[in-house]
Amino acid sequence: MFVIHRVRQVGSAEFWSNRIRKEYRNKDDEVSKAQITFCVKLSSLVKELSAYTKEWHTTGLAWGKGAALTKSAAQAGVDTVSAATTPTATATVKTKGAESKTVKAAPPVKSAADASEELKAALLAKTTGGNSAATGLKKVPRDQQTWRKEYKKDSATPAPASSAPSKAVTSVKAKSSSNKPPPPPKIEFHAPTNKWLVEHQVSPTQTPIVLTVDVTDLKHQVYIYKCTNVTVVVKGRFKNIIVDSCVRCNVIFDTVLISTEVFNGKSCKVQINGTCPSFVIDKTDGCQVYLSKETMAVTKFVTSKSSEMNVCWQDPSGDMKEVPIPEQFHHQLNPETGKISSEVSDLYTSNC
């Protein structure tokens, strides 16, 4: 690349010199003669510079350490320095008002790649101050070193400004969620799904409020959601009823064709005045089920992840009976069949 640049410079000098010669040729005034002389000397300078770079800087300029001059010679001002091309070159220094002195010069640089590596190493040493990875890092005072016993969080410097917005956003979100008003209570019929919705009903006092739902179609369903301290009375025959996420909720209904389901509840009570083929209890702590005479021999219970479940009914003498639904079982593997057999714990033997 440097050879190509050198050739281009020679051609460029000849091009612009010819334009000057064309303008001032055949003129005898001093200015024209000076312009022609300038073109001749410029062409000679560029050609000689090209020959010099071809001999001494074939691959481009190379930075070396140069001659090891004494401090006094450098201060006096160096006029000319000539160095030999041998590895053990010497330099003759002529200073103003002083005798000539001969000093040893450093060997020339072998290639531009070596000079580039030396320059990189010098810059790295200047910027980092050494080869250690910790060089240039800010020293942390003892009172701010978290691993020491005497470190106190209150006396530490404040956290960076970048983390403050995130904490502020988190606190704002927490406050907004806690201050969010509860949804309005609802008791209505949703025609597209044939479902009665009883949602977010809460008693303002310790006494439960009573809500009545009149169902007139066997295809209708009843869905009770997030009600607290209420009593829901459902009249008529309908498809099924679901009690979801309710606390201290009492449900009284006549007849269900498919099932009754209680999910995610606490201290719920359900009374069946008619019949109910299936009763499902899931993830509920405290569920009291009251059976009528018609449904005692019909209702089947399915339970999972629930506790404090009891079934109540009235015996022929008119007294109320109560038995718990087992929560503890004994399981045993049969190696021959590869199946597990389960039995109710002895805690419920006397009542089941």
Give the C-alpha separation, 151 to 200, whole Å. 51
Sign, Cα dihedral of 314, 316, 317, 321: negative
Per residue in 137-168, pLDDT tens?
A: 778 887 788 888 777 776 555 555 555 555 55
Structural domain includes residue 156: no
Structural domain includes residue 275: yes
Biggest alpha carbon distance in the chain?
150
Do residues 44 and 192 both lie within one domain?
no
| pTM score, whole prediction | 0.51
Residues 273 and 253: beta-carbon distance below 8 Å: yes
- Of 299, 306, 300, which Cα lies nearest the Cα of 273? 299
Structural domain includes residue 175: no
Strand partners, 273: none
Q: What is the pLDDT of residue 26?
A: 79
Give the C-alpha separation, 234 to 226, whole Å. 17
Single residue among 37, 56, 75 that ends a domain in this structure: 56
Structural domain includes residue 76: no
The parts of the chain modelled with pLDDT lower than 50 are 67-106, 109
Give the C-alpha separation, 35 to 38, whole Å. 5
Structural domain includes residue 100: no
Beta strands per DSSP E along 204-324? 209-214, 221-225, 228-244, 247-263, 266-272, 278-282, 285-290, 300-304, 307-314, 320-324
Q: What is the pLDDT of residue 37?
A: 87
Residues 284 and 306: beta-carbon distance below 8 Å: yes
338 HSE (CA, 13 A, CB side): 0
What number of helices (H) and strands (E) belong to the chain? 5, 17
Domain that holds residue 246: 186-348
Domain with residue 259: its CATH number is 2.160.20.70
Q: Indicate the residue type of 199.
A: E
Do residues 50 and 197 both lie within one domain?
no
Q: Indicate the residue type of 62.
A: A
- Of 319, 302, 233, which Cα lies nearest the Cα of 263? 302
Instruction: Look up residue 214 and give its two tokens.
Output: 């009149």
Structural domain includes residue 120: no
| Residue 220 backbone dihedrals phi, psi, to 5 degrees | -75, 155
Strands 186-190 and 195-199: antiparallel
- Give one DSSP letter per residue of 25-53, joined into a string: TT--SHHHHHHHHHHHHHHHHHHHHHHHH
Residues 115 and 62: beta-carbon distance below 8 Å: yes
Structural domain includes residue 216: yes
Number of structural domains found in the chain: 2
Q: What is the pLDDT of residue 22?
A: 82
Structural domain includes residue 228: yes
Beta strands per DSSP E along 39-145? 78-83, 90-95, 101-104
